[in-house]
Structures are given as C-alpha cells and as structure tokens.
C-alpha cells in the first residue's frame, strides 16, 4: 500500500493532479473559516459552544463542515448543488424535454449541467435569505446574543446574502476544477472534505462526554461499521449477458460475454438525504412557532424534534426504505436496458429477449433493493441510537450520512488513482 502511494507521487502527471486537488481542498477549507461581512464572530463562537445537539440545521451544518453555524462565506456548503442535482434527476423522468436532452449524449448532458448551475444559484439565494433571517431573529443557534453587527440593516442583510450566494458559486467552480484537472469527482471530494472536517471534533466530544472507555468502544464499533459499509458498497449482482455474432460487411462483430452490474446499494446516499430533509420540516415548523401553545406544536416537539424518540426512528426508517425503492425505480429502467440489449443482439442466458428480459431485470432489482434499503436504514439510525444510549450528538461520526459519504467517496477516488497507476504499469492500491 505504501509503495503504491509512493508510485502515485513518482508519476509526474498523477502527482500534479493530486497536488492540485490538495490545493483546491485547502482553498475550500480556508473559505469555510472566513466569516461573512457583518457577522459578530465572538458572539457566534459563544453561541456555538452553547448549541443544542438537536438543532434542525445539523444536516446542513454537516455538509458545510461546520461553516453554517459560523456564518462564513461558504456557509451554505455544497447543499444547494446537491439539492439542485437531485431535483434535475427527478425532472428528467417527468419532463420529456429534459429526457430528450439526456439521450443526446454529451451535448445534452452539458445543457442539463448548465440548468443545474442556475437552479443551484436560485436555491442558494433562498437558503441564504432564510439563514440570515434566522440569524437576525436569533433563532439559528437558539441564542440571545446578536449574531450580526447590524441586525436591522437591510444593506447588511443583502450583503451577507450576496456573499453566501457567491460562495456557493465559487464552490461549484472549485468542484468543476477538481473534476477537470484533478482526480475523481470534484463535488464528491468537496463533500468528503466537509464531512471529514467535523470528524475529529465529533470523536473528541464523545471522549469528553463519556470518557476513554466509551471512546475506545466507539472506535472499535466504527472500524467494524467501516468494514461492513465497504463490503456492502462493493457488493453487486452480476447478470451475465451474451452478444450474438453478426456479419457487417466482411467483418464479424459480437460474440462477446459481459455482465450487467446491479449494486446492492443502487440508490447511494440519496434516500437518506431525502428522508432527513423531510423530517427536518417538523422541527422548522416548531422553530417558527416557538411561542405557540398549540397542541400540534407540543406533539411535534415531543416526537419529531429531539430525534431520539422511537416514533421518529420508525418513521425515518420507513421513509428511507420508501425513497430507496422510489429512487432506484427512476434511475434504473429495466425496459430501456432490455430494449438496448435486444437492439444490439444481446441476451441473458436462459431468458428470452424483450419483455421476459425486462421482467427478469425488474425481479432481480426488486430482490437486491430490499437488503440495500435495510442497510441504509440501519446505518442512518446509528447516530440516533447513539444519541439515546450514550448522549452523543446527531453528527455521531460512525453512522448516517457521514460514514456513507466518507467510505463511498474514498472508494471511488482510490479506484480513479488505481486506474492511473495501472495505465503506467505500476501496482495499484488494491491487491
């Protein structure tokens, strides 16, 4: 492994790519620490130290690497881009025009990417406006200290909103630079960076609250979870496909054997984000009606705000399973795959081409989606169980979105580096 790392940095082209990625990551983390103009840094830091772990903004704060609560220029993080990408993926299935663009290949994908950028900026404006409004009303951190120097100034309000929106645009640009000139997917690496940035503090908080014995137990459980996540993320069902031989002019084509890889976790982390985002809505409703004595406010506050109630966990688990099936159904189309196989002379051994192939793919996909959905639900519940058992915070490092992002992005990046090494006859990372 160490020799493979050394070989990676001995290769001039790969060394330049890796150093470029490290430079962009350093710039990104620097921007996550620079406060937006008009923010009272001393009061913000004091309020963060008193922040409750059950804040409804913990998910956004996780994706921003803690920059949201500090009200920095990169406070929104990568969350607007993630939301815009998910919305565009769903709209491609619904709107025929977008579906036609997707089928056009690279040119159509370029237009969809451009639409994603525009939607990201629109969402960034909305999110920045909401966050600054909550900061002015002192509800963002549930603290009585003023977070802004000029809370009643419209000019200061607009300056912070514009700064945070521009920060989101810069983050998009940095991610695209990594994709074009670095190694791996730029946006994924930036998300990985922000999640890893909160990892040491989350671990140290467990040690400070529960002691070294609990800390060692948590680390041991964490290693087992990482191994389990790697195993599931790499697991796939390979459906064999044969291509019949055919003559085109004087040349023979086809006759090859390949397979369709269906991953156990076909949906990735998207179902967890969907479910988490929807379950933050009750907390937002309670926060905007904090002074209300209505029965529904008390009910939501009791069952859906703290996150450690069994009803909340059950609803969260059920929503993850539902969104897993939903997302897999819109991202993998068995009918389209079966038609393409039939068009190019491919068939699954023992299965007739056309409708039988489509039914077989649907059957296999439904069978492997269930364990994938259960796996996502269990991983996502780990921080909530930790919150109930050892009073750890909801950003508990070994579980939920954090471990899925870290392992998934790390595996993808290592594979990209591996491919670069094998092109130059070096040994890869994975032996």
pLDDT in tens, 168-225: 999 999 988 998 888 878 888 888 888 888 777 777 777 777 778 877 887 887 788 8
pLDDT of residue 169: 92
Q: How far is CA 176 from CA 52, 189, 251, in A?
A: 35, 11, 42
What are 384's two structure tokens?
């909530």
Task: Give me the sign of the Cα torsion angle 344, 348, 350, 354.
Answer: negative
pLDDT of residue 279: 77
DSSP 3-state of 234: helix
pLDDT of residue 333: 84
pLDDT of residue 388: 60
Written out in words, the top-level CATH class of the domain with range 235-396 is mainly alpha
Residue with tokens 């192939």: 357
Percent of the chain surpassing pLDDT 70: 82
Alpha-carbon gap, residue 217 to 203, rounded angstroms: 12
pTM assigned to the model? 0.78
Residues of the chain below pLDDT 70: 1-5, 50-60, 63, 65, 151, 245-255, 283-284, 287-294, 301, 303, 305-308, 386-400, 424-431
Strand partners, 346: 243
β strands within 254-366, DSSP E: 257-263, 346-347
Alpha-carbon gap, residue 303 to 289, rounded angstroms: 16
Alpha-carbon gap, residue 13 to 27, rounded angstroms: 21
DSSP alpha helix (H) spans, 260-390: 270-288, 295-300, 310-331, 334-343, 355-389
pLDDT of residue 308: 65
- Into which CATH architecture does domain 1-198+406-431 fall? Orthogonal Bundle (1.10)
β strands within 110-245, DSSP E: 236-243
What are 141's two structure tokens?
């951190």
pLDDT of residue 23: 92
Q: Is it true that 1-198+406-431 and 235-396 share their CATH fold?
A: yes
Instruction: Check if the beta carbon of residue 361 is closer than 8 Å to that of residue 338.
Output: yes
Where are the chain's structural domains? 1-198+406-431, 235-396
What are 364's two structure tokens?
């296999």
């Amino acid at each position: 492994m160490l020799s493979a790392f050394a070989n990676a940095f001995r290769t001039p082209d790969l060394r330049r790519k890796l150093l470029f990625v490290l430079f962009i990551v350093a710039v990104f983390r620097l921007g996550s620490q620079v406060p937006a103009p008009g923010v009272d840094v001393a009061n913000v830091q004091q309020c963060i130290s008193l922040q409750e772990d059950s804040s409804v903004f913990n998910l956004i704060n996780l994706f921003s690497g803690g920059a949201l609560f500090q009200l920095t220029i990169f406070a929104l993080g990568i969350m607007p881009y993630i939301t815009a990408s998910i919305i565009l993926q769903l709209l491609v299935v619904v709107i025929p025009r977008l579906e036609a663009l997707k089928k056009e290949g690279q040119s159509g994908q370029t237009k969809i990417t451009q639409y994603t950028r525009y939607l990201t900026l629109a969402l960034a404006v909305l999110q920045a406006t909401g966050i600054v409004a909550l900061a002015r009303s002192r509800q963002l951190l549930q603290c009585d200290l003023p977070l802004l120097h000029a809370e009643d100034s419209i000019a200061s309000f607009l300056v912070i909103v514009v700064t945070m929106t521009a920060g989101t645009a810069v983050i998009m640009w940095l991610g695209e630079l990594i994709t074009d000139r670095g190694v791996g997917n730029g946006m994924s690496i930036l998300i990985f960076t922000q999640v890893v940035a909160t990892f040491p503090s989350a671990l140290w908080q467990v040690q400070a609250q529960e002691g070294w014995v609990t800390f060692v137990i948590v680390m041991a459980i964490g290693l087992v979870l990482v191994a389990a996540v790697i195993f599931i993320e790499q697991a796939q069902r390979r459906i064999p496909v044969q291509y019949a031989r055919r003559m085109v002019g004087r040349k023979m084509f086809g006759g090859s054997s390949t397979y369709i890889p269906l991953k156990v976790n076909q949906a990735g982390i998207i179902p967890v984000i969907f479910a988490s985002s929807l379950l933050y809505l009750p907390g937002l409703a309670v926060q905007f009606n904090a002074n209300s004595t209505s029965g529904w406010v008390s009910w939501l506050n009791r069952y859906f705000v703290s996150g450690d109630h069994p009803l909340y966990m059950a609803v969260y688990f059920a929503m993850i399973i539902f969104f897993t099936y939903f997302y897999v159904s819109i991202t993998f189309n068995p009918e389209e795959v079966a038609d393409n196989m039939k068009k190019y002379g491919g068939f699954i051994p023992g299965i007739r081409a056309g409708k039988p192939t489509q039914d077989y793919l649907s059957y296999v996909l439904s069978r492997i989606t269930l364990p994938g959905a259960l796996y996502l639900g269990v991983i996502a519940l780990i921080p909530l169980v930790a919150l109930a058992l050892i009073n750890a915070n909801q950003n508990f490092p070994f579980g939920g979105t954090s471990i899925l992002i870290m392992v998934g992005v790390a595996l993808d990046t290592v594979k990209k580096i591996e491919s670069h090494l094998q092109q130059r006859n070096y040994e890869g990372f994975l032996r």
